[in-house]
Amino acid sequence: MSSTTGTRGESVTPANPASDTVADTTDVTALLERGRALSTPVLRAAVDRLAPPMDTVAAYHFGWIDAQGRPADGDGGKAVRPALALLSAEAAGAAAEAGIPGAVAVELVHNFSLLHDDLMDGDEQRRHRDTVWKVHGPAQAILVGDGLFALAYDILLELGTAEAGRAAQRLTTATRKLIDGQAQDISYEHRERVTVEECLEMEGNKTGALLACACSIGAVLGGADDRTADVLEAYGHHLGLAFQAVDDLLGIWGDPESTGKQTWSDLRQRKKSLPVVAALAAGGPASERLGELLAADAKSSDFDSFSEEEFAARAALIEEAGGREWTAQEARRQHAVAIEALHGVDMPEPVRAQLTALADFVVVRKR
């Protein structure tokens, strides 16, 4: 496997234990850059429609300006969903450009969810800078999130075509799942035990649904019939599950320099992410000790001032109980199912290869 780093640091070097079995992914940086280049002008024009100061707050969130309002070239995210939408339009036989409104609509919903999620979780860092609620306050985080959500439908529905209506319906279904997944995720933080099945269902909702939707609405806007869109949606769903499994690994063992988030971010949040749930389900001494510690943590009034060492001890138990390896295997399994799903559609072979490369990137990413 080759090792290279893109202009925004999209390393394709194996980054975590999920990466053992994937193919070379060296062209992914170009795919992500293309998605970003084609969608950003439309995204910026959409954001400009927000009333002040929401337009400025959104520009800060996307990294176009800094906290002082000066132009910036900040980390606006990996743009995985736009890349998927454009490739799916091509898979349907259209030019990539046909997928742009879908790419932008999904990216708007994704960013709405990040703004609200950071506020709900009290997360202070995203994309290597302070979160919107931290800089501009909770009201702006809520309002700008709402604004991005509404803009997503503007972008689709002002096309005025039957395809845009079908795409908007798929976006609504995906957003409902995204919200369900978030509600499940939050409720699980307060539960002592969550099954692996419950965790996978939650992750399919909170992450799988929107990646799936990026694919299906890109395809619909590219002229695909519903069956073809459904096949690409299945690819995106399993890719989303792989994506979230890797996110769960990075949420415990990720390097903050790469992820742009705090150390041990998911442990600080008491997330019942896959490594934790799998470790608790494994049984054995490490699993039992972890269960005791997490049960005590749930009642501890000192949890917010836990040291790095205390989180490191919990991470070590999760790993010893097998939660890290199980999650890495799950990422690889979902990656394989996603690629297999692509066989259900006739598409130009270069597009199939690019969708495969994007799936490979998802399991080797460090951020």
Ligand X SMILES: CC(C)=CCC/C(C)=C/CC/C(C)=C/COP(=O)(O)OP(=O)(O)O
Query: Under the rule (CB under 6 A), what is the footprint of ligand X?
Result: 77-78, 80, 113-114, 116-117, 127, 178-179, 182, 206-207, 244, 247
Q: How many helices (H) and strands (E) does the chain have?
A: 17, 2
> Residues with Cβ < 8 Å from 111, sequence gap 6 or more?
61, 62, 77, 145, 148
Place of tokens 């439908």: 153
Pick 182 or 354: Cβ nearer ligand X: 182
Q: Look up residue 118 and give its DSSP letter.
A: H
Pick 206 or 268: Cβ nearer ligand X: 206
Q: Where are the alpha helices (H) located in 260-307, listed in sequence order?
A: 265-268, 274-282, 285-299
Q: How far is the CB of 181 from ligand X (least distance, A)?
A: 6
Q: How far is the CB of 247 from ligand X (least distance, A)?
A: 5
Pick 12 or 178: Cβ nearer ligand X: 178
* Rounded Cα gap, residues 114 and 247, in angstroms: 14
Q: How far is the CB of 239 from ligand X (least distance, A)?
A: 11
* Rounded Cα gap, residues 73 and 63, in angstroms: 6
Pick 182 or 287: Cβ nearer ligand X: 182
* Phi, psi (degrees; rounded to nearest 5) at 71: -55, 140
Pick 182 or 356: Cβ nearer ligand X: 182
Query: How many Cβ atoms are within 10 Å of 69's Cβ, its own excluded?
Result: 11
Q: Contact at 8 Å (CB) between 65 and 56?
A: yes
Pick 29 or 244: Cβ nearer ligand X: 244
Q: How far is the CB of 367 from ligand X (least distance, A)?
A: 7
Extract the tokens encoding 114: 């990040």
Pick 277 or 347: Cβ nearer ligand X: 277
* Rounded Cα gap, residues 52 and 32, in angstroms: 30
Q: How far is the CB of 310 from ligand X (least distance, A)?
A: 25
Q: Contact at 8 Å (CB) between 192 and 142?
A: no
* Rounded Cα gap, residues 209 and 81, in angstroms: 11
Closest residue to bound ligand X by CB: 77
Q: How far is the CB of 182 from ligand X (least distance, A)?
A: 4
Q: How far is the CB of 157 from ligand X (least distance, A)?
A: 21
Pick 9 or 348: Cβ nearer ligand X: 9
- Give the amino acid at 342: L
Place of tokens 């090792």: 3
Q: How far is the CB of 146 from ligand X (least distance, A)?
A: 11
Element of type H or E holding 22: none
Pick 127 or 268: Cβ nearer ligand X: 127
* Rounded Cα gap, residues 168 and 213, in angstroms: 10
* Rounded Cα gap, residues 20 and 15, in angstroms: 10
Q: How far is the CB of 121 from ligand X (least distance, A)?
A: 8
DSSP letters for 20-73 = TT----TTHHHHHHHHHHHHHHHHHHHHTTSPTTHHHHHHHHTTSB-TTS-B--
* Rounded Cα gap, residues 208 and 177, in angstroms: 9
